[in-house]
Amino acid sequence: MPDAVAPDAVAPDSPAPVEIPLRQAATVMLVRDGDGGLEVFMLRRNPRSEFVPGQFVFPGGAVDAEDREDPGLESVCVGIDDATASARIDVDHGGLAYWVAAVRECFEEAGVLLARNGGGHVSFDDPDTAARFAALRREVHSGELRLAQMCLDEGLALELDDLRYVSHWITPVGPTRRFDTRFFIAHAPDGQEPLHDGSETVESTWIRPADAFAQHAEGTFMMIFPTYKNLEPLLDVDTVADLMAWADGLDDIPALLPAIAVTPDGEVLTLLPGDEGYDEAMANPPPAGSMQ
C-alpha cells in the first residue's frame, strides 16, 4: 500500500492537500485460560488522550527506528529471523521489527515481558525482581534504555516464536493518524501480572471476548473498529491452545483497508471490502486528516 493518500485534484492556487503518512505499528493480544474460558488483556486509554481517548485497546504502538536498527537486537532475538518474519508478512526485508515492536510495546504498556532466561519465561514473582523490572519498564518507555541492552544486561532472550501473526489492518483515509498495523497473539507468561501505566492508559482488565462484545453493545466498553473486529475470531475459541492452533493454521493474511462513509444525516460508517457501498466510499473518501 502507498505510504500516503494520493492528493485530490486541486486548482492551481489552492493550498496543497493534506497527506497523512502511514506509520508502521504492531499490536499484541495477550491471552490466558481463565476460569470461564479464554480471556484477553485490554487497556483503556486516557480519556484526555488525543488518539482514541477512552477506548479499550490491546498493547501496541508504532515501530521505532531502534526496533529495526539497534545492532544489539540480533544477539537477543531467537526463534525467528528477519528473513522468516519478512516472508510471513510479505515484505522484502525488515519484518522482524514488527515482532520486536510487539514485545517492546507489550512491556512498555502492559508491563509484560515476552522473554526467557535460562530457566524459562522471566518471572516477576519475587518482589525485588518485580521492582527492578518496573524501573526498567519506565526506562525503556522513556527511551533511556534500549530493549536490546536491557536483555543483554539481564541475560534474557526475546523468544519471538511465542508470538503468532494473525491480521493486518491499515487505517482508512480520513483520520489525522494512519497506521499500517500487524496484529499478534501471545500467551501471557506465568509469574507476570499485566498492568496499565497510569498515564497513557488508566485502566486494565482481563475479559472474555463475549463479555467485551456485550459491554460494548451496552456502551460501557468502548472499542475502535479494528479492535472489535480482531476480537471476533476469539469468540469461538475456548482455550489458549486452541487459539494458537488456529493461528498456526493461518496462511494468507490479507491487508484490510476499511473505508469511511458519511451518511447524509452525519452518521459515520466503517466499511470493509465486500460491504455494500465500500467501492463508492473508497472512491470518495473524507478529506485526509478531517476526522479524529
Please tell me the pTM assigned to this model. 0.90
Query: Could you tell me how far CA 228 lies from the centroid of its own chain?
Result: 13
Question: Which among 200, 193, 178 has a CA at the least distance from the CA of 3?
Answer: 178
Q: Which of residues 136 and 8 earns the better pLDDT score?
A: 136
Chain segment 11-45, per-residue pLDDT in tens: 445 455 567 889 999 999 999 999 999 999 999 99
Q: Which domains does the chain have, with CATH numbers?
A: 22-256 (3.90.79.10)
Q: How confident is the model at residue 224, as a pLDDT?
A: 93
User: Cα(34)–Cα(55) distance, rounded to whole angstroms?
Assistant: 23
Give the Cα-Cα-Cα angle 157, 158, 163 (nearest 5 degrees).
150
Average pLDDT, the chain: 90
Chain segment 153-166, per-residue pLDDT in tens: 999 999 899 999 99
User: Cα(41)–Cα(52) distance, rounded to whole angstroms?
Assistant: 18
35 secondary structure, DSSP code: T
Q: How confident is the model at residue 53, as a pLDDT?
A: 86
